[in-house]
Every structure is written in C-alpha cells, then in structure tokens.
A and B are shown apart, each in its own frame.
Chain A
C-alpha cells in the first residue's frame, strides 16, 4: 500500500497543511464512502423492509448486501450481524438484553480499568441492578491485561467477561483469544469491544470463538451513526429485544406481541440505511488495501515517531511497547490542554483528555494525556511535522516558565 496515493482518496486531506492524527477518535472518510451515501439519497433513498414497490426493494437489497459484507468481514453469518447506532449501542445492547436477563447476585462480571466507558459503564449498570459482582482484572506494570492476571479473577461464578480487543488509550492488543477459551471453560460468555481493533486488524469471530463483538463504522472509514454487534446465533435468538416498535415485531395483539428473528428484533424503527450502505463501501475499501498492510504501516509510523520522541527528552510516553498505531504521552510539566493548543496552531489534529477511559487515566496517575493515532492515510511527513511541533511546543512552554 502507498499512503501517498491513498491520501488522495480523502477530501479532508486536500488541505495539505492538515496533519490528522486522531483516527482513534474518528477516521476520515474516503470519496468512495461519501459517494455511496449520496448514491443512496439520490437514487433509492426510501425505506427498507416496508415498501412493496421496486425502489424499496432496491434499498432493502443494498442494505442487506451491506450486512452480508460486514458478516464476511469478520467471518460470521448474515443473521449474526445486528446494525446499531455505534459500538456504544452495541455494547449496551449486550448488557441490557443479555446481562439484565441472565445475571443474579451470585454471578460475577469481569471488566478492566483499560476499558472505554462504553464497555465498563453498561456492566456497572447491570451490576447495580442485578447485584452481580463487578470484578476488575489487575493490569500488569505496563497497564496490560495478561492471561495470568485474568486467571486470578476468573472462577465458577464468572458469567460475563467484558474486555477490549485493543485499548483506545494504550493501543495494546489484549490476549483475547486465550481469555475467551478460559472463560468458556467456566461457562462464562465473552463480549469484546473491538472498536479499536476492527479498523486495523483482521478479525475472525469463529477463530476467536467470542460470544459478542462490537465495533463502530466511523472509526473504519465509514459514516457516523452506524455500528455493529456480532452475536452467536443461539445467544441472539434467546435474548429479548430492548427497544420496541416498528419493523421488529411479528404478530401484535392488544396485550401481547411476538418478535421477528434476530437480527431484526433488535433493529426497531427506520434503521441508519445510508450509513449501513456506506459502511459496506468502507469495508470494500479496507479489503482492497488489506488490513495486514494497514496494521504494519501504522505500527511502522508509531515506531518511527516513538523513537524520535525519545530522542527529544522531556516527553513521557505511557505505552512505548504498544503493538498498534496509538501513542499516549505528555510533555513533562505541561497540562495536555495547554499543549494541545500549540499543536492546533500548526493544524495538527490530535486528542487531549481522558479519552472516555477515566479508569486507565487514573491508573496512570495523571490528569489527562495527549494521544496521537495513525491510519492508512498518514505518512512519514506527518510524523516529522508532529515531531517538529512537539519539539517547538516543549521549548515554548519551558521558555514561558512551565
């Protein structure tokens, strides 16, 4: 893959002063995806599943095609893919439907401090309602979830394991396959937050044997407002819907009703049709470039940048050993919100704050961090520009007395 050629597919990057290093928050979108949204609105912008006319049939077909693409993307089947509003909704669906209906006070839920709020808070809610116990895997000294530490909290009472595949702050890849196998030995189900994994690495749900896996469209070149929940078919079939209304029902009586099969029983109301179709186009684009190539490219840029950052001095890097394209760091003595304004002045987009993961920020014993994250459209020049500004920022803040 050639990032210099790929860059041209992203209209936001027409501004060649822009250095976009915030893909972990949201990726940029290529023309192919943007055009796909237009195509829906221009050519067949009507509702799905309802109209008994050709145009609605076309829209439904495109919508279904996209679901099929998503299912193939992670090696699952059509019926196992639920479209949601985003990864957050997908993770919430598992907690609200599976969690609230299957857990009791005797049960335990394993989470970690490395989770995004969207993974830990829904289970905190389940724990508060069902009185099931919320248990945290101790992180190792680098802030990683390890198999050994996971074993130390796993027991016969564990019913749910809710962990990330790739951390949005540390960029670590969790040993999720081993964790899933161990969890299954005690009869627990595993729900995987793959929001930072799906855009960057090949996922095979059959190989992982995960029970649920969630991700977002907008972090993988797709539109906002669309996410995916994968669930094993027998689990989805046994789970009650959490939202009720049009399109999800089968037979409706005055005091009772029945539901469609999964995935439709979880998708009430007019779905994000254009967004789902746009996600299909994003998956085509990623497949064309190849996820393995993307992962290697991001890692190489990350290594190149981290080495330069270490040469600068006075830069604290929190996740040097990360296997992906995410770097969390601070300039010694400078609050990240002071620093970010300096980068903004050079048109470098990056993140400052707690990245919707307050628990790991607290674990790091800092108030917040700066974060850069790479993707397929980033180049070595982006890294060099970032390093140049980082050096200037460090010198500037020192000179004014930080």
Chain B
C-alpha cells in the first residue's frame, strides 16, 4: 500500500468529512488565534477555553486541505478535557513526531498518532501542524 493510502485511510477522512467541535464561539472566556498560510490558502481559526488548569473546550473553523481541516478536528477531540500541562506536552510531542525529531513515546497522542505518516511527506507537515500551532498561540495569549 502506498504511504499516502495509509495516511488517508485512517482517521483523517472521517474527521475531514465529519469534523468535530467545528464552529467558533463568542465569549471572552475563549482565546482565539487565526493562522493563514498564504502560499497554499489554508486558513484556520482555533479557540481554546481553559478552566482551572483544564482545557475545557477547543473550537476550530476555516478552510484548507483534508490534512489541515481533519487535524484541527482530531486536535480538538484529543485536547478537550486534558490538563493544561498535558495538552502542552501532547502538542509538543505531536510537533516533534511530524518533523521527525525525537519525541516522548510515553505521551498518549490518541487519534493524533494517525498523523505520524505525515512525516514521510515533508511538504505536508505545515498542513498537519497549522491548527496545533494556532492552539499553542491561544495559550500564549493567556
């Protein structure tokens, strides 16, 4: 099977077709970051809501390729309900995995592990990381 098939057959198509936690929320308790990749047109907005050190909600909206859009959905499912420190370490581990850096294999990535295959397509790493970068941004604006 081609690497590409592996990549698409897993959770990616499911989340692309049926995105979870899509649509933005109003309200000061949400921190919002918008990231655009002008070269390819990916355009993603991510919101996070932190309550007592726990990621209580993650929302996303935007347009882009299947990897970009599905990864935002998978990210929201993975991170909601996590302690802030755990969410940060999942994000860091995920980024390291995509970029072929050493990563802590004991960190549970849940469905986001499906994107491990993206590291074989360097040109697509940006697509798979843009939503997660936006999430990191929402934490910085805290």
Nearest B residue (CB) for A368: B41
Q: What are the nearest 7 A-B pairs in CB distance?
A: A337-B65, A335-B65, A400-B8, A401-B13, A368-B41, A338-B65, A338-B66
Sampled A-B contacts (11; CB under 8 Å):
A335-B64, A335-B66, A336-B65, A337-B65, A337-B67, A341-B4, A341-B124, A345-B4, A352-B40, A396-B5, A400-B13
A335, chain B: closest CB distance, angstroms: 4
Is the Cβ of B5 less than 8 Å from the Cβ of A400? Answer: yes
Q: Which residues of B contact A361 (CB under 8 A)?
A: 41
Of all chain A residues, the one with the shortest Cβ separation from B43 is A367
CB distance from A356 to the nearest CB of B (A): 9
Query: Is A402 touching B41 in the complex (CB atoms < 8 A)?
Result: no
Cβ of B44 within 8 Å of any chain A Cβ, yes or no, is no
Whether A337 touches B4, Cβ cut-off 8 Å, given contacts A352-B40, A353-B39, A401-B17, is no
Residues 50-91 (chain B) with a chain A CB within 8 angstroms: 63-68
B121 at the interface (CB under 8 A from A): yes
Q: Choose among A341, A345, A361, A368 the residue with the greatest number of B CB atoms under 10 Å from its CB.
A: A341
Q: In the assembled complex, which residues on chain A have CB atoms less than 8 Å from the CB atom of B40?
A: 337, 352-353, 368
Name the CB-closest residue of B to A401: B13
> In the bound complex, how far is the Cα of B130 from the Cα of A65, in angstroms?
49
Main secondary structure of the interface of B (DSSP, over half): helix
Instruction: Please state if B8 and A337 are interface contacts (CB–CB under 8 Å).
Output: no
Interface residues of B (CB under 8 A from A): 2-5, 8-9, 13, 17, 39-42, 63-68, 121, 123-124, 127
A201 in the interface, Cβ–Cβ < 8 Å?
Answer: no
CB neighbours (8 Å) of B123 from chain A are 340-341, 344
- In the complex, whether A342 has a CB less than 8 A from a CB of chain B is yes
Min CB distance, A363 to chain B, in Å? Answer: 15
Residue of A nearest to B10 (CB): A400
User: How far in angstroms is the closest Cβ of chain A from B69?
Assistant: 8
Judged by a CB distance under 8 angstroms, whether A354 is at the interface is yes
A338: chain B residues within 8 A (beta carbon): 65-67
CA distance A340 to B121 in the complex (A): 11
Return chain B residues, CB-CB under 8 Å to A367: 41, 63-64
Q: Which one, B4, B39, B64, contacts A342 given CB within 8 A? A: B4
Give the docked Cα–Cα distance between A400 and B11 (Å).
11
Chain A: CB-nearest residue to B17: A401
Partner of B127, one of A337, A368, A400: A337
CB neighbours of B67 from chain A (8 A)? 337-338
CB of A237, distance to nearest CB on chain B (Å): 38
Question: What is the distance, in angstroms, from B116's C-beta to the closest C-beta of chain A?
Answer: 16
B41/A353 in contact, CB under 8 A: yes
What distance in Å separates the Cβ of A330 from its nearest Cβ neighbour in chain B? 12
Residues of B within 8 A of A335 (CB): 64-66
Report the Cα distance A353→B36, complex, angstroms: 13
Q: How far is the CA of A344 from the CA of B122 in the complex (A)?
A: 11
Q: Which of A308-358 contact B (CB under 8 A)?
A: 335-338, 340-342, 344-345, 352-354
| Bound Cα distance from A353 to B68, whole angstroms | 14
Look across to chain B and name the residue whose beta carbon is closest to the beta carbon of A397.
Answer: B8
Contact check, A396 vs B4: say whether CB atoms are below 8 A apart: yes
Q: Please tell me if the beta carbons of A344 and B121 are within 8 angstroms of each other in the complex.
A: yes
Partner of A337, one of B2, B17, B64: B64
CB-nearest residue of chain B to A353: B40
A345 lies within 8 A of B64 (CB): no
Q: Which of A335, A353, A367 has the most CB of B within 10 A?
A: A335
Q: How far is the CA of A400 from the CA of B12 in the complex (A)?
A: 10
- A227→B4 CA distance, assembly (Å): 39
A317–chain B nearest beta-carbon distance, Å: 20
Q: How far is the CA of A361 from the CA of B41 in the complex (A)?
A: 10
A353 to B63, CA, bound (A): 13
- The answer for the CA separation of A401 and B127 in the assembled complex, in Å, is 19
The residue in B64, B66, B123 that gathers the most chain A C-beta atoms within 10 A of its C-beta is B66
